[in-house]
Structure 1
Amino acid sequence: MRPILILTKNLLTERWLQEQLQLLNYEVFCSVTMLKHLQLNPNRPKMIENYQAIIFSETLTNQEIRELQDSVDHENNLLVRKFNEEPTIKEKEVLADLAIDTWIYEDQSLDILRELLATRLSRCQSRTLNNVFFLYQKDDSPKSLMEFKSGLTKKERLAFECLMESETGQVSRDGLCHYIWKGDSNNSRLTQISVLIKRLKYKLEEAGFQNGMIETVWGYGYKLSPKLVQFYSQEAMQ
């Protein structure tokens, strides 16, 4: 089982959480130094690839979490936001924009924390253990391009079309921003790009495709699997 990483500005703030996680038999690494390294080198995902979950402390601002988006693997890392108390509805809405998977708060019962992590982490672990690559799932036939696109939101569809229309199948995050919003990129839009790509990956799996149809090109953007492009190109010619 891979360890859990807590990114914080103050180690003393994380004593309660670290103790709770250790009681649940998780290996925990709590670090201020790692946070500083990631802030200085946001395009170095290998620094945290061995952690199954990344917990962002309440000592971090939302803006600081946005700036760390390129450092995390949105597919294989469970992203958790820690609060002092149960977050408000407005705070939960902000978490969606930050591409955060779930949240925890101080004094949350051990029973709730145990079940929350067990459920959420099992999804990440099942993907990590799946190293065999197929174009589509064995038990499901993939949806047609028209069927797949009909289940996308407007922005998801634009992001998918941008990747499909690229000659190389590879598009920068700035390029996706220009395609979707017809304007320059900013922190808010770049965060939304991370969320859109995460949703597209999920919906491709739901459509019958194997994990890995969209790859992250660290420090640049995203790349669509050539097999997926070929699959839908052949469909268009029929």
Structure 2
Amino acid sequence: MSQILLFTKNPLNEELFEERLRQLGHEVFTTKELIDRCLLENMNHSFIQVFHYIILSETIANAEVKELVLSLSKYKIPIFRKSDEPIEEDQLKEWKKLGITDWIEAHPSIEELREKLSSYKTRNERKIVFLPRSDEKIALSNIPLSGSELKLFLILYRQQNQTISREEISQKMWNRSKNNSTMSQLSVMIKHLKDKLASRNISGPIIETCWGRGYRLDESVNDQVTVDIVDEVMIGQQ
């Protein structure tokens, strides 16, 4: 399973495309606000390194795409330009000179999408690990979480140490009400998230289970983990 970062000017435009990606088992982060952040100079974009593919929507103007590619190409992650229409060979050559890996159809079949992405598997198993000094907080973007684990952490973090129900988490995570499947999946994700934070020497209960009510991020986590600027943008999308 791969993590995909999808830049767009209109997240609603991407719903069917996202669904196709998820049918193939990929995790997708769709962002509008992150476009402007990535165009700023001297920004720490280490969060981007957790992704395996970057897709630039057809809703983004060519001029902005060029700027984004210049900012993102240093991460050596395949960058796809999504388009409603096939890109001519000459135009594709120009895009590749800028750093675009290839183009991808806006309404592809499952098979076409699968084969396109599988042609550029370069780092799907790569995990980023940074060992912090003991006297410093660890940046959230430096903890090797999967896309879903990161999203779950941010949901809990946004509650400011207040309990959030399983029903609300299910709606925020998967946009559907809780059921046996989502509750089982959530329990597994909570365990994995706690284990990964503990493996980075985050101490305390980390995530508390409030029986009959939901989950709560322990306040001690705030003293040990810092949510950096890029991750704050992700919080704003929840």
TM-score of the two chains, using structure 2 as the length reference = 0.48
TM-score of the two chains, using structure 1 as the length reference = 0.48
